[in-house]
Amino acid sequence: MDTVPKSIEPVTHPHLWRWLTEFGTIEIGPCHQTHSFIRVLDEGGMIWKGRRSYRSLDAALADAEAGVAKWMRDELGIKAATHT
């Protein structure tokens, strides 16, 4: 992994930021059970999992951002994450 972001910002990762502040958690690191490096969970379990590996942490977060955006759109009807 290249660099480690200091935080998930609402400007760069709006859906992940909203997820963390309103809905659930994100796990980052290899998981042998799910064969994924990054996972997004709510109180009911995993709603999205990424690939086994990524070239960088930024790439993993970008993939999770897209996955959470799709899930929010499909499951919650949220078309765009906003912050105030």
Q: Would 5 be classed as within a structural domain? A: no
Six-digit token string for 53: 């590996």
pLDDT > 70 in the chain, percent? 88
Q: Would 52 be classed as within a structural domain? A: yes
Q: Would 29 be classed as within a structural domain? A: yes
Q: How far apart are CA 57 and CA 66, in angstroms?
A: 14
pLDDT > 90 in the chain, percent? 77
Q: How far apart are CA 49 and CA 39, in angstroms?
A: 4
pLDDT of residue 83 exceeding 70, the answer is no
Q: Would 8 be classed as within a structural domain? A: no
pLDDT of residue 44 exceeding 90, the answer is yes
Q: How far apart are CA 48 and CA 24, in angstroms?
A: 12
In this predicted structure, what is the pLDDT of residue 1? Answer: 44
Q: Would 84 be classed as within a structural domain? A: no
Kindly indicate the confidence band of residue 10, based on its pLDDT and cuts at 50, 70 and 90. confident
Mean pLDDT of the chain: 89
Number of structural domains in the chain: 1
Residue-number span of the structural domain to which 23 is assigned: 14-76
